[in-house]
């Protein structure tokens, strides 16, 4: 029998080929991808993430809504979150661990008691210690435990601390600033707005809150204000609850929120919109809530109706002017209703055309 002899059957002029196309395209070749993604027929490693912290509020010398008293020497407890009036709306709130919270309790004669956590352990230092000898604060529950030396009556409580509201994040939007290529990222939960500054989160424009739920997501738009050179940042959460509605708001300076509830004719007002987007020199609202203008019986935002297929647009130029959205005045605002019973749910630009997405169709 002849011995086996290997015979080369490949092309002599090709050599080893390393750039052969794969047998399957990448998005079909893997049943599961972790920390990787397919992009232009290539599998790429997903970039790592860096945690920057939790959304938090910083309170300075805030007078709490409830008072504190003691029937005599012994131990008493006081809930800080109840005093802040946030127990119902922020049930998962936690005080920032090690925030060195300064708690000042005004108890009347013979003087104030100042309780300070200087170590971040929750153990409070009491000065001067006349009516309260010691104290402890639970950062997770907000419960303040005090050891009193005697009886004292109802006393006010003033507090300085940082805490996490513990609410779901409902939007991360970018606000244009004056400097070229400078943007400010604004974070929203259901109740507050925040910015990231100096290595930590802080409330963005204090004193203003929203009342939406965990499905009222925020959308916004950067556009001009009363002058062509002004920069306005418009925000909506599409919450028009019959009991706790929110308006459309905008800020020009990052210091104050302003309400946008313009007249659309002599007797009706625009209150809310699902989408805000600039288009051809006008500010456009898609999927809107409109209603009778107060004052008057049965009027106002809580009695507005949802016109789900409407595109409402402002005048060319300033969208914050009193008559900028009036459809009954020539040259001002107007509206277009799509010939469908589907609700507007999205919008996107294709070149210079605004494509509006409905539940099961798209319209130009």
pLDDT bin (cut points 50, 70, 90) of residue 259 is: very high
pLDDT above 90 as % of the chain? 60
- Would you say residue 296 has pLDDT above 80? no
Residue 142 burial class via C-beta count within 10 angstroms: exposed 0-12, middle 13-18, buried 19 and up = buried
C-alpha atoms less than 13 angstroms from C-alpha of 311 in its C-beta half-sphere: 20
Give tens-digit pLDDT for 202-217. 999 999 999 999 999 9
Report DSSP state, residue 22: P
What's the mean pLDDT in 113-124?
A: 83
Give the start-end residues of each E strand in 149-182.
152-155, 157-164, 169-176
Contact 248, 236 (CB under 8 A): yes
pLDDT bin (cut points 50, 70, 90) of residue 13 is: low
Q: Poorest-confidence range of 70-74, 116-120, 161-165?
A: 116-120
Amino acid 27: pLDDT:
64
What's the mean pLDDT in 274-299?
A: 90
Other Cβ atoms closer than 10 A to 266: 9
Closest CA to 284 of 210, 353, 359: 353
Contact 81, 94 (CB under 8 A): no
Give the Cα separation of 67 and 135 in Å (integer): 17
Closest CA to 72 of 127, 131, 23: 131
Give the Cα separation of 147 and 45 in Å (integer): 56
The full set of domain ranges for the chain reads 57-164, 169-363
pLDDT above 70 as % of the chain? 91
Give tens-digit pLDDT for 299-318. 778 889 999 999 999 999 99
98 or 272, which is more confident: 272
Give the Cα separation of 137 and 222 in Å (integer): 43
What's the mean pLDDT in 128-156?
A: 89
What's the mean pLDDT in 154-160?
A: 87
Give the Cα separation of 286 and 309 in Å (integer): 7
């Amino acid at each position: 029998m002849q011995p086996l002899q290997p015979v080369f059957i490949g092309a002599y002029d090709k050599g080893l080929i390393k750039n052969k196309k794969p047998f399957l395209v990448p998005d079909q070749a893997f049943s599961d991808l972790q920390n990787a993604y397919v992009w232009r027929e290539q599998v790429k490693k997903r970039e790592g993430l860096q945690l920057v912290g939790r959304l938090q509020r910083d309170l300075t010398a805030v007078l709490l809504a409830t008072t504190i008293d003691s029937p005599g020497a012994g131990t008493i407890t006081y809930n800080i979150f109840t005093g802040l009036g946030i127990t119902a709306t922020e049930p998962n709130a936690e005080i920032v661990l090690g925030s060195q919270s300064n708690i000042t309790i005004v108890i009347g004669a013979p003087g104030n008691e100042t309780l300070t956590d200087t170590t971040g352990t929750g153990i409070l230092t009491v000065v001067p210690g006349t009516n309260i000898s010691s104290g402890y604060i639970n950062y997770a529950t907000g419960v303040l435990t005090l050891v009193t030396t005697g009886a004292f009556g109802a006393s006010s409580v003033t507090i300085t601390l940082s805490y996490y509201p513990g609410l779901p994040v409902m939007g991360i939007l970018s606000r244009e600033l004056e400097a070229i290529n400078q943007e400010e990222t604004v974070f929203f939960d259901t109740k507050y707005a925040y910015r990231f500054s100096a290595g930590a989160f802080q409330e963005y424009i204090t004193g203003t809150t929203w009342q939406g739920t965990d499905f009222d997501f925020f959308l916004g738009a950067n556009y001009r204000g009363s002058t062509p050179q002004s920069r306005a940042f418009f925000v909506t959460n599409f919450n028009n609850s019959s009991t706790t509605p929110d308006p459309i708001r905008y800020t020009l300076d990052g210091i104050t929120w302003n309400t946008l509830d313009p007249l659309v004719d002599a007797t009706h007002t625009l209150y809310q919109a699902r989408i805000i987007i600039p288009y051809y020199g006008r500010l456009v609202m898609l999927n809107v809530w409109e209603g009778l203008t107060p004052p008057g019986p049965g009027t106002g935002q809580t009695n507005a109706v949802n016109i789900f297929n409407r595109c409402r647009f402002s005048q060319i130029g300033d969208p914050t002017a009193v008559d900028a959205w009036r459809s009954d005045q020539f040259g001002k605002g107007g509206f277009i209703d799509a010939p469908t019973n589907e609700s507007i749910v999205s919008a996107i630009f294709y070149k210079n055309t605004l494509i509006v997405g409905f539940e099961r169709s798209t319209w130009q």
